[in-house]
Structure 1
Amino acid sequence: MTELIDILEKHKKITKEMSIKLHKYLREVKAPVTKEWGDCVTSHSLPGEGILKALSSACTGIENRGVFLLAELSSENTEKKLNMASKNPNIITGFVCQNKDTFKDPGLLQLTPGVQLESAKDDLGQVYNTPEKNLAIKLFDIDAVKFGEFKTKSGTMTPVYFDLRVIVSYPDVMELLTVLLYDIVSNHKKYDHICGVPYTALPIATLLSVKVKKPMLLRRKEAKAYGTKKMIEGHYKVGETCLIIEDVVTSGSSVLETVKDLNKEGLIVKNAIIILDREQGGRMNLESNNVYIDSLFTMTELIDILEKHKKITKEMSIKIHKYLREVKAPVTKDSFEDRIRIPFEKRAELSKNLVAKQLFNIMSIKKTNLCLSVDLTSTVKILELLEKVGEYICLVKTHVDIIEDFTSDFISRLKQLADRFNFLILEDRKFADIGNTVSLQYQKGLYKISEWADCVTSHSLPGEGILKALSSACTGIENRGVFLLAEMSSEGNLISAEYREETVNMASKNPNIITGFVCQNKDTFKDPGLLQLTPGVQLESAKDDLGQVYNTPEKVILENGADIVVVGRGIVNAKSPEAQAVVYRDALWKCYSKRISGKLE
């Protein structure tokens, strides 16, 4: 106020006398001190954590004071607000918000403004939302919730059935449902498209798309027999994200079918918004497939509302609660369509690691997913072999420390062959030491691996430091990558399921350096931008005297999800390595082509 008055006086907008009068008023008249009587106050988080520190320090000597942080009034990042609040627990009373999933701490309060018994909006634009219970009652009144004996899509029998198809005849219910779902959708900031699960969720998805101003995609239940024959209609780019809208989830199978078709087009799906979660295993099934749901109602909440408002008897409520406890939907196994059914050229666009991008593109162009393991001790024999088979492979795997006549000239000639035949070089070093030692092993010594190997293999045993060491050693070198060993093909190896999961988790924190995993199973990881490198392959199943187990191309690609297959002795020891390389290339590519076609029977 002082600055404003001084500016107005200086520009002769007010007299000097008026200025003196106002300054005197400001010195003498103060507003009541809030901290003396307000038990709690509301506050924006926009200024940052300092505002909470200021309010907290202002309450020194006064025990019972608190702050409700506005979490949803503006477009501020809700996650940042929650994080800010978590650092100042003694001053935070709760949040001013509209949604139950805004925060999870049971020791905080949700303060929700704008409620009346019926939807309304006043002259100043204040919207009063109908609570979810009123929607539940309306759904019952229009026969969208039915009681009796019904069979669900997953095959289970149920005493209650949720039929949202009728709501298209009730515009007021459609509008109310859209408003309530909009509050949930608004918490999801990072998505490019909305897609409704056909067919019931399509009108709801359409209304939400218009309200949130996000483009909608239309998934068909079956492809047209004419025209483009597309399953997904709309304009999109590979790598964009899609938010799914569904009416009811029992097992989650309908959502997963939609996820599968979207993944085939290179779209990423991580979240789904559901009207009703039947609480029969669908949420768990979806989460096991990396799809996370937010629901407007759970079945328990819906039944409790209807019982409370005497829409159903207490006996019916007890029956349904008992049913929910005892009957679960069948487990929906991961279809892995987000990885093994997506063509290599589309997966290249999803890769964060440049070596992975290169490999996907090389495989697509050369039509080969064959990696040759040259376990030979002579540089002459290695180079002669690559002259013969270089055009049939996408990757060569070396063990440089077994070579008896290693020279820098060998590396120069190896790189020339890689450039001529368009394949990459993998040094199978299997790094496993502390970070500093690994950094030296990678860059220094006789072999100077970092200067010529496009990618290397590494154990995860030493922890995340090994990836940081390899990454920092690549500074100034663009195209370098790491295949982490998540599984081994040798009989009796000590790698456990827990070790495998921790390895994948470690990789997810270092996406730019990770090319993929050395593993045997398709469910080891799910990121379609990474590669599965699988060793231990021959045209016929076998096991050698040292415990190395060999599987067939069909098994490793069709059943186990391999992207690149490593073949060594099957080609190296053949009478005609060139002819055998062609046989392996054709067999492996045929399996891959069959896999992406979806015709696995």
Structure 2
Amino acid sequence: MPRLSHGACLTPAWDEPPVRNVLDPHPPARCSHFQPAPFTSMTTPATPDTLARSFFQLSLDTGVLKFGEFKTKAGRLSPYFFNAGLFNDGATLGRLAEFYARRLIDSGLQFDMLFGPAYKGIALAAAVSIELARLGHNKPYAYNRKEAKDHGEGGTLVGAPVSGRVLIIDDVISAGTSVRESITLIRAAGATPCGVVIALDRQERAHENGVDTPHSAVQFVRDTLGLSVVSIATLSDLLDYLRAQGGAGIGEHYAKVSAYRERYGVQEA
């Protein structure tokens, strides 16, 4: 399944192919210093499917992805729950950053810098910027404060000057509110919002003013706001992952997740 929802800013991919093996569950220890140059080999080339599967395995191992019965903000009873806030130590955040960086390189979406909306986007922007540098693509990053600072550097923006093509990074898109706020900040700085990268595309209908819409939050960002959206994985990927497990273990959740997708899911182009 494609993980890039096309908006207005798709351009050719970077010249270098992705070369870091993010699928190794036991990556080598990281040195205290490194040279931001691309790696030169990968023993196990990753397809988008294997990248998504490895992402789900990490999410399960860390408790980020759980199965059961969970009430969503929209009042729906969901058979799964994804909480990216539990990527909360150096090792798991580093692995997550690898997945983001790899998916971005594979997507072919060009950008000049990362922007992390407060609060979850702050750590993501920093971590993914580091990982991209390790892969030879050094990108600046910035983020916003919720409250303006009236001393020191002042203002609401922190980090590199916001300029050029700016990619917004977050964990999920629920209602698009954070994306809209980020677009306003980026444009006010004289830069161009270029796209959004997220961990999981739930592929379910948005819920606005007490009513289910025919589109998802990702589709709204893509079709109405005109931004491309890249995701590490989608709900379709999760169903593929569960189906591959068979009827035992976590595979037993396939039927409920599939029924939820049937009821609340959106049609993808």
Q: Which residue of 2 aligns with 1:498?
A: none
Q: Distance in 2 between matches of 1:235 and 1:117?
A: 32
- Which of 87, 104, 127 in structure 1 is aligned with 2:42? 127
Q: Are 1:231 and 2:156 matched, yes or no?
A: yes
Displacement, 1:219? 1.7
Alignment of 1:164-243 (within 5 A): 164-169=84-89, 171-186=90-105, 187-188=107-108, 190-210=110-130, 211=133, 212-220=137-145, 222-224=146-148, 226-227=150-151, 230-236=155-161, 240-243=164-167
Q: Distance in 1 between matches of 2:24 and 2:14?
A: 33
Question: Which structure features the higher share of helix residues?
Answer: 1
Letter in 1 for 2:257: I
Q: Which residue of 1 aligns with 2:33?
A: none
Displacement, 1:140? 0.7
Q: Are 1:302 and 2:238 matched, yes or no?
A: yes
8 A Cα contact 1:154 1:251, kept in partner: no
Displacement, 1:78? 4.4
Q: Distance in 1 between matches of 2:265 and 2:251?
A: 24
Displacement, 1:80? 10
Q: Which residue of 2 aligns with 1:362?
A: none
Q: Distance in 2 between matches of 1:276 and 1:318?
A: 20
Q: Are 1:249 and 2:164 matched, yes or no?
A: no
Displacement, 1:289? 0.8
8 A Cα contact 1:147 1:159, kept in partner: yes
Q: Which residue of 2 aligns with 1:274?
A: 198
Q: Which residue of 1 aligns with 2:254?
A: 317
Displacement, 1:203? 1.9
8 A Cα contact 1:120 1:127, kept in partner: no
Q: Distance in 2 between matches of 1:127 and 1:245?
A: 26
Q: Which residue of 2 aligns with 1:420?
A: none
8 A Cα contact 1:154 1:250, kept in partner: no
Q: Are 1:327 and 2:264 matched, yes or no?
A: yes
Unpaired segments ≥5 residues, structure 2: 1-10, 29-38, 205-215
Q: Distance in 2 between matches of 1:206 and 1:134?
A: 22
Q: Which residue of 2 aligns with 1:283?
A: 218
Displacement, 1:125? 5.5
Alignment of 1:555-566 (within 5 A): none
Equivalent position SS for 2:258: helix
- The TM-score normalised by the length of structure 2 is 0.67
Displacement, 1:120? 5.5
Question: Against the structure 1 CA distance between its residues 155 and 262, is the aligned structure 2 distance closer, same or farther, given a 3 Å change threshold?
Answer: farther
Q: Distance in 1 between matches of 2:257 and 2:127?
A: 32
Question: Which structure features the higher share of strand residues?
Answer: 2
Q: Distance in 1 between matches of 2:61 and 2:227?
A: 32
Displacement, 1:267? 2.4
Question: Against the structure 1 CA distance between its residues 235 and 173, is the aligned structure 2 distance closer, same or farther, given a 3 Å change threshold?
Answer: closer
CA deviation string 1:137-173 (max 9, x = no partner): 121121101223434456654332111111122x333
Equivalent position SS for 2:171: strand
Letter in 1 for 2:83: D
CA deviation string 1:27-78 (max 9, x = no partner): xxxxxxxxxxxxxxxxxxxxxxxxxxxxxxxxxxxxxxxxxxxxxxxxxx84
Q: Distance in 1 between matches of 2:20 and 2:85?
A: 32
Equivalent position SS for 1:198: coil
Q: Which residue of 1 aligns with 2:63?
A: 143
Displacement, 1:283? 2.0
Equivalent position SS for 1:213: coil
Q: Distance in 1 between matches of 2:119 and 2:242?
A: 26
Alignment of 1:504-523 (within 5 A): none
Displacement, 1:119? 5.1
Q: Which residue of 2 aligns with 1:485?
A: none
Equivalent position SS for 1:249: coil
CA deviation string 1:451-510 (max 9, x = no partner): xxxxxxxxxxxxxxxxxxxxxxxxxxxxxxxxxxxxxxxxxxxxxxxxxxxxxxxxxxxx
Q: Distance in 1 between matches of 2:233 and 2:54?
A: 12
- The TM-score normalised by the length of structure 1 is 0.33
Q: Distance in 2 between matches of 1:125 and 1:80?
A: 15
RMSD after superposition: 3.5
CA deviation string 1:165-191 (max 9, x = no partner): 11122x333222222221232355642
Q: Distance in 2 between matches of 1:256 and 1:327?
A: 24
Q: Distance in 2 between matches of 1:312 and 1:146?
A: 10
How many residue pairs align between the two structures?
220
8 A Cα contact 2:149 2:156, kept in partner: no
8 A Cα contact 1:300 1:321, kept in partner: no
Q: Distance in 1 between matches of 2:109 and 2:172?
A: 23
Letter in 1 for 2:250: I
Bigger relative CO (Cα 8 Å, ≥ 6 apart): 2
CA deviation string 1:346-383 (max 9, x = no partner): xxxxxxxxxxxxxxxxxxxxxxxxxxxxxxxxxxxxxx
Q: Are 1:161 and 2:86 matched, yes or no?
A: no
Q: Structure 1 stretches (4+) deviating beyond 6 angstroms?
A: 112-117
Q: Distance in 2 between matches of 1:240 and 1:177?
A: 26
8 A Cα contact 2:170 2:199, kept in partner: yes
Q: Distance in 2 between matches of 1:150 and 1:240?
A: 40
- Which of 181, 184, 197 in structure 2 is aligned with 1:260? 184
Between the two proteins, what is the percent identity of the paired residues?
Answer: 21
Letter in 2 for 1:217: A
Displacement, 1:282? 1.8
Letter in 1 for 2:263: E
Q: Distance in 1 between matches of 2:112 and 2:167?
A: 8
